[in-house]
């Protein structure tokens, strides 16, 4: 079990370092090392946020799926691929839409974050229910999986958003 935790921590650290800090560090010169990095483009920031959120959320979802359905490694691996692909196809455009139509960064509040996180989880909850049902054919356990993933992934979503707003805030429109 410690191997999974180490793998998850390593994947998250690598994604954060390579995705979030890489562009900022590559652009720094000794004269600008103390300056704030330039804001990422909307598209680039959403892509990096997708990578960091999906890394953590999908590891949690696969562990949850395996625990609820007692899935073997092969089924869990296939579920991971399907879950990652469908979740990323939903998360990335959701982030772009929120960035375009949501409140400005200077107007962001805890209520906005809660609305954003729960809004996404409602959409992805339906996706989780459908995906787990396709894999298992069992509606009640699939509903349990979707409900548990809703709770866990909402916390991951909010944490990811807060971290990105702190380390690489959005530019004002």
Q: Is residue 147 part of a domain?
A: yes
Q: How many separate domains does the chain show? A: 1
Residue 148 and residue 153: Cα distance in Å, rounded?
8
- pLDDT for the residue numbered 22: 43
Q: Is residue 30 part of a domain?
A: no
Q: Is residue 22 part of a domain?
A: no
Q: Is residue 91 part of a domain?
A: yes
The structure tokens 């092969």 sit at 74
- pLDDT for the residue numbered 72: 75
The structure tokens 């609305």 sit at 115
- pLDDT for the residue numbered 10: 46
Residue 63 and residue 153: Cα distance in Å, rounded?
12
Residue 154 and residue 122: Cα distance in Å, rounded?
10
- pLDDT for the residue numbered 17: 43
Helices (H), 72-138: 73-101, 110-136
- pLDDT for the residue numbered 31: 52
Q: The tokens of 85 are what?
A: 């692909």
The structure tokens 């399907």 sit at 82
Burial class (CB in 10 A: 0-12, 13-18, 19+), 132: buried
- pLDDT for the residue numbered 128: 95
Q: Is residue 2 part of a domain?
A: no
- pLDDT for the residue numbered 148: 96
Q: Is residue 4 part of a domain?
A: no
Q: Enter the pTM of the model.
A: 0.76
Residue 37 and residue 43: Cα distance in Å, rounded?
17
pLDDT values of the chain reduced to their tens digit, one per residue, 173 residues = 444 444 444 444 444 444 444 444 444 445 545 577 788 899 999 999 999 999 999 999 988 988 888 877 777 888 899 999 999 999 999 999 999 999 998 899 999 999 999 999 999 999 999 999 998 899 999 999 999 999 999 999 999 999 999 999 888 87
Q: Is residue 17 part of a domain?
A: no
Q: Is residue 11 part of a domain?
A: no
Domain of residue 151 covers 40-167
């Amino acid at each position: 079990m410690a191997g999974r935790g180490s793998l998850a921590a390593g994947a998250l650290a690598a994604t954060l370092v390579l995705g979030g800090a890489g562009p900022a560090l590559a652009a720094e010169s000794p004269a600008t090392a103390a300056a704030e990095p330039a804001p990422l483009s909307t598209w680039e920031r959403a892509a990096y946020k997708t990578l960091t959120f999906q890394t953590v959320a999908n590891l949690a979802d696969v562990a949850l799926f395996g625990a609820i359905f007692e899935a073997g490694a092969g089924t869990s691996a296939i579920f991971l691929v399907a879950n990652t692909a469908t979740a990323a196809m939903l998360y990335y455009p959701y982030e772009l839409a929120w960035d375009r139509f949501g409140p400005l960064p200077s107007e962001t509040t805890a209520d906005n974050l809660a609305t954003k996180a729960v809004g996404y989880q409602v959409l992805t909850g339906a996706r989780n229910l459908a995906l787990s049902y396709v894999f298992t054919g069992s509606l009640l356990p699939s509903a349990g999986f979707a409900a548990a993933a809703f709770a866990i992934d909402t916390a991951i979503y909010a944490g990811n958003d807060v971290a990105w707003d702190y380390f690489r805030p959005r530019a004002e429109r």
